[in-house]
Amino acid sequence: MRDRPVQILSLLMALLALVGAGALLPRIVAASDEAKLRYTDVSVEGAPPIVAVGAAVGALRGLVVDYLWIRLQQMRELGQFYDARNLADLITKLQPRFGEVWAFHGHNLAYNLSVATSTPGERWRLVNAGIDLVRNKGIRYNPNDLILYKELGWWFAHKVDGLSDDAHLYYKRELAKEWHLLLGEPPHSVEDRAAWLQRIADAPDTYEELVAKEPGVAALVDAIEAKMRAFDPKFKAKLDRDFLMNHGRWKSVHSTPGYARVFGLQEQFRRRDPAYAAMDDLFSDPASQQALDALVTYLRKRVLLDDYNMDPARMARYTRDFGPFDWRHPQSHAFYWSKMGSEIGSERYNNDEDIYRILNDDRTTIQSMQALAHTGLMRVDPFSTDNPTRIYDPRWIGSIDRYFRELYQKHYKARGGGPDTFVDFYENFMAQAVRELYHAGEVEEAQKLLEQLDALCGRGGLIPNNKYVAPVDVFVRNATFGEYEMVPDVARTDLFAILRRGFIEGYLAGKKKVLEDALVYARDLTEYFKSTRYTDFRTKMGDARLADIIGSLERSVEDVIINIMQDSSLPLVDRLTIYNRLPEDQRAMAYDAAKPRIEADLAESPLAVAGGKLDALFPEPPNMDAYRARRAEREKERAAALKAMQDGSMDRKR
């Protein structure tokens, strides 16, 4: 009986506690919403089934996860990365809202485990697995966690586009091929690229909506199934990423004239693969084009959203607002994820203690723009083992100038000199941009940029100095000294800019000395990168890590001539003039790759109205067969050398 008052009092206190907790709950929820601490109305929404088991044990789940996280840190310190992979996977299933463990899990795959493999293919699979884990799972469960966006952007910028990994050239080739097959060749102008992506964003969300809008799609899919059932009676068309990639290969065979033309891939595929021949018949039928375009545009939208967790509307907006992103380039992805993080994930860290997290994310964003300025103009042949052509794109200079000012204002009051880091970046980038424009022959633009730099960071700077007072030619010569050894990737942008200027001025303006000087510069720089003790070694992956940045002089000349021929910003008559003044061997380099662009531009040109014929204005060189054979042999030799190098590496590993 003596315990009865105690029991009653305890019950009353429990009831009061429940009432108090109920009264406080709305304020707690509101505070968590305001601080972006809640992701969904249900803590395990969208999570794997095992999470329901974890949720059932209530508070004990937190204790289990804490223990596992401590154990994971111990494994990392001991270098037990394979065991850590399994443990990290378990933690993400028990607690998918734990952003830090997703970041660890992805980093472990992309960095720690990938470097333990023997072939570039094995490495790329693990790097890709780490990226996909965070991109397609971690961010879906933690959509406003800035750290995940920053890490993902950094992996694209550092692991894929950087130079530190022996297999970095393989990564660049594979990423470029993958996105070339997914999206195809992008339009040249910023406006056209933004509109191209917006058409994908505006595509129907479901197949039913697509068919309602374009009934021919259903007929096309039925025709595909009917054709394929000749080989597989149970065939059912799967409108997924694989279907889109197969279409991309078919499209590339028809529209990419490089190695597809050299090796006669269209004829080979039709002869060896009846399924390809059947698809080729349907896809090539003019009556199918409207339905096929609608289907491909719809699939691109679905694949971007479902397989890559990327929003084509956001991709289009970034292109309109910032510049000509090429999604075959790793730095476009670095920009996308880091910029997205700053837009939707930074509110949780907008305080003095955590501002460095936002600063680091914004650094990744603007540095990716810098990298796109250096190498953002691309030419990709998905059937080649050659490295993608990556050329300086001056369109990014104005974008970086504008975005620097935005970031400077954003971080002006940040403690620890937050904006100073962007001032240093701006000064270094603009100083290099002066040199790039000068080498490209844009002397007046280079001089204007130098004067702007002097006004902001020179005599008009916080601490006035005369660093940018020299004439532009003197400044460029002094700035270039010794830089190639410290920043070798810059050498390729210089090489392309100088060769481009040489061919344009040499053949259009009759400045043969400019062309001769450009070729001498290219030859000397190529020899330097092939012979210097800093760059002449080959990695176990078969690539010369730095020497292959330049490649052969023949390949450099070929890339520049093709770039000039395909550049619709140059008048067609100028491009035709340059082409017809080139030596026969250099015309052969450009003919196959440039012919589709020249033919399309000619069809819309007054030259066509005047009766100009492609064969007369852009004649095939007489030595094309020999050139194609030599190029095919060169490709075979390179492929054989890579295979031998990789096989030897695996033998040594065993």
One domain, residues 568 and 643: yes
Q: Is 7 within the bounds of a domain?
A: no
Bridge partners for 390 per DSSP: 378
Q: Are both 560 and 631 inside the same structural domain?
A: yes
Whether 138 and 110 have beta carbons less than 8 Å apart is answered as no
Q: Give pLDDT, residue 26.
A: 56
- Please tell me whether residue 377 adopts helix, strand or coil conformation: strand
pLDDT tens, position by position, 319-352: 999 999 999 999 999 999 999 999 987 676 666 6
- 429 in a domain, yes or no? yes
SS3 string, 326-364, reads CCCCHHHHHHHHHHHHHHHCCHHHCCCCCHHHHHHHHHH
Higher pLDDT, 500 or 94: 500
- For the chain, the residue count is 654
pLDDT at 59 over 60: no
My answer on whether 71 and 201 are in the same domain is no
Q: Which band of pLDDT confidence, cut at 50, 70 and 90, is reported for residue 583? A: very high
- Closest alpha carbon to 370 in 353, 392, 351: 392
Q: Which range is least confidently modeled, 109-113, 435-439, 648-652?
A: 648-652
DSSP tally for the chain: helices H, then strands E: 34, 2
Domain co-membership, 130 together with 256: no
Q: Which residues contact 451 (CB under 8 A, 6 or more apart)?
A: 468
Q: How far are the Cα atoms of 156, 181, 185, 324, 439 from residue 329, in angstroms, in the given order? A: 9, 13, 12, 11, 24
pLDDT attached to residue 420: 77
Task: Determine phi and psi for 390, rounding to 5 degrees.
Answer: -135, 110
Give the per-residue pLDDT at 643: 74
Q: Which of 147, 107, 97, 138 is nearest to 357 (CA)?
A: 147
Are residues 498 and 440 part of one domain? no
Residue 479 lies inside a defined structural domain of this protein: no
pLDDT at 456 over 90: no
DSSP state of 391: E
Share of the chain above pLDDT 70, in %: 80
Q: Look up tokens 């997914």; give the residue.
A: 182
Q: Which tens digits make up the pLDDT trace of 43-55?
A: 444 444 545 555 5
Q: How many Cβ atoms are within 10 Å of 410's Cβ, its own excluded?
A: 16
**Are 128 and 190 in a shared domain?**
no
Whether residue 245 sits in one domain with residue 132: no
Within 8 A by CB and 6+ apart from 283, the residues are: 247, 250, 292
Residue 15 pLDDT more than 80? no
**pLDDT band at 491; cut points 50, 70, 90:** confident
- Asked if residue 44 is part of any domain, the answer here is no
The mean-pLDDT minimum among 87-96, 132-141, 204-213, 574-583 falls in 87-96
Average pLDDT over residues 26-35: 52
What pLDDT does residue 255 have? 82
Banded pLDDT at 221 (limits 50, 70, 90)? very high
Q: What sign for the dihedral angle of Cα 260, 266, 271, 277?
A: positive
pTM of the model: 0.75
Nearest alpha carbon to residue 123 among 515, 652, 646: 646
Residue 608 pLDDT: 65
Q: State whether 435 and 504 are in the same domain.
A: no
Residues 124 and 200 in one domain: no
Residues 282 and 368 occupy one common structural domain: yes
DSSP state for residue 613 in the 8-state scheme: -
Read off the DSSP letter of residue 166: T
> Which two three-digit tokens encode residue 1?
């009986």
Domain that holds residue 91: 49-143
In angstroms, the CA 395 to CA 409 distance is 23
Tokens 């509307």 belong to which residue? 313
CA distance 392 to 510: 24
430 with 492, same domain: the answer is: no
Residues 6+ apart with CB under 8 A from 163: 488, 489, 545, 546, 549
Q: Determine which of 120-124, 392-396, 571-575, 637-641 has the lowest per-residue pLDDT on average.
A: 637-641
Q: Report the Cα 342 to chain-centroid distance in Å.
A: 19
Task: Look at residue 157 and tell me if it is in a domain.
Answer: no
Q: Residue 129 falls within a domain, yes or no? A: yes
Same domain, residue pair 232 and 283: yes
With 90 as the cut, is the pLDDT of residue 543 above it?
A: no
Does residue 463 lie in a domain region? Answer: no
Residues 428 and 426: their CA atoms lie apart, in Å, by 6
Section 284-299 average pLDDT: 95
Mean pLDDT of the region 242-257: 90
Q: Final residue of a domain: which of 98, 123, 143?
A: 143
Residues 66-84: pLDDT tens digits? 667 677 777 767 777 667 6
Last residue of a domain, one of 455, 476, 498: 455
Q: Using the 3D structure, point to which of 143, 161, 186 is the last residue of a domain.
A: 143
Please state, in angstroms and rounded to a whole number, the distance separating the CA atoms of residues 194 and 320: 6
CB 364, CB 338: distance < 8 Å:
yes
Domain count, the chain: 3
Domain for residue 298, yes or no?
Answer: yes
